[in-house]
Amino acid sequence: MKGIMTALITPFNEDGTLNDKGLREVVRHNIDVMGVDGLYIGGSTGESFLMDEAMRSELLKIVKEEAGDAVTLIAQIGSLNIEEAIRLGNEAKELGYDALSAITPYYYKFSFEEIKSYYERITEETNHPMVVYSIPVLTGTQMTIDDYGELLAIPNVVGVKYSDTNLSRLTKLKELYPDKVFYGGADDMLLQYIISGADGAIGSTYSLLGKQAKALFDALQNSELKEAKNLQLEMNQVIAKMESIGVYQTLKHVLKEQGVDAGFMKFPFKELTDDEKRQASEIVDILASG
């Protein structure tokens, strides 16, 4: 469960249906070319909040079929509809996913008690390892150290995908809960997350920067701080470019230029304009020269 995991994009056909062939290519690219330690399926990057349940279920099936047992697989099954989350969680468990993950319930201003009961119900009814997905910048849900502690005390909650940028809180959490697993979630801060106690990271850009991220992770395990910092600076040039154009769209564009059928975005996401495509293509050159 440790190391570098790619938050997988989902390739769609132009009509919004799943691109089965493209999805398999993206899985293979991450395992065979990037060499990442795991895949996180159906998260923000995977556009799963734009999919219906049948499509999310199909996504989980195809990825498992293609990846087999080669790497750790985590299924993001969170949904505002608790029954859907439980059904998807049970499917992922039966398919052989190593763990589930669920975004904190969003949109409504849920109380912490409500958030906690959501994880209690999913874990009770699926009885499978659960990684809490905390991403305050998108959900607005900010949790305290005590809140995280209460969630980590729920049976089967094994860790947190910490897409939070408060690093002193992360350091404290790892000190308090050394047996739980913490993943960093902002790829331009991989170095800082690991130094602050994270066991690994889950990020979208590792479909392109997986090798650099793995090298950075390894450098830190060997206390090679200077090497790790240089790698982070190198990665951040690409990440900043992606963020200015649109991370998911750029990922798909660059992968396609590299020969991986990354497909289209799901409505209402827009495709890149010709000018944005030109800018995104510069990343192909940067990666090829590195």
Q: Catalytic positions, please?
A: 133, 161
| Residues 129, 141: Cα–Cα separation, whole Å | 22
Window 116-145: residues binding ligand HMN (CB under 6 A): 138
Residues 56-85 as b or e (16 or more Cβ within 10 Å = b): bbbbbebbbebbeeebbbbbbbbbeebebb
Number of chain residues interacting with ligand HMN (CB under 6 A): 20
Q: Which stretch binds ligand HMN (CB under 6 A): 18-26, 36-44, 164-172, 207-215?
A: 36-44
Which position among 37, 91, 164, 187 is part of the footprint of ligand HMN (CB under 6 A)? 187
User: CA 244, 108, 247: angle at the middle one, nearest 5?
Assistant: 15
Helix (H, G, I), strand (E, B) or coil at 186: coil
- For the residues of 125-157, what is the DSSP string, one character each? HH-S-EEEEE-HHHH-----HHHHHHHHTSTTE
Neighbour count for residue 178 (Cβ, 10 Å): 9
For the CB of residue 123, give the shortest distance to ligand HMN in the complex, in Å: 19
Helix (H, G, I), strand (E, B) or coil at 102: strand
For the CB of residue 206, give the shortest distance to ligand HMN in the complex, in Å: 8
Q: Which is nearer to ligand HMN, 22 or 43 (CB)?
A: 43
Which position among 204, 207, 249, 250 is part of the footprint of ligand HMN (CB under 6 A)? 204
Window 205-234: residues binding ligand HMN (CB under 6 A): 205
Which x/- pattern over 242-281 shows residues binding ligand HMN (rule: CB under 6 A)?
Answer: -x---x----------------------------------
8 A C-beta contact, residue 287 and residue 208: yes
For the CB of residue 214, give the shortest distance to ligand HMN in the complex, in Å: 15
Does 78 participate in binding ligand HMN (rule CB under 6 A)?
no
Q: Which helix (H) or strand (E) holds 75?
A: strand 72-76
Does 44 participate in binding ligand HMN (rule CB under 6 A)?
yes
Binding site for ligand HMN (CB under 6 A): 7, 40, 43-46, 138, 161, 163, 185-188, 202-205, 239, 243, 247
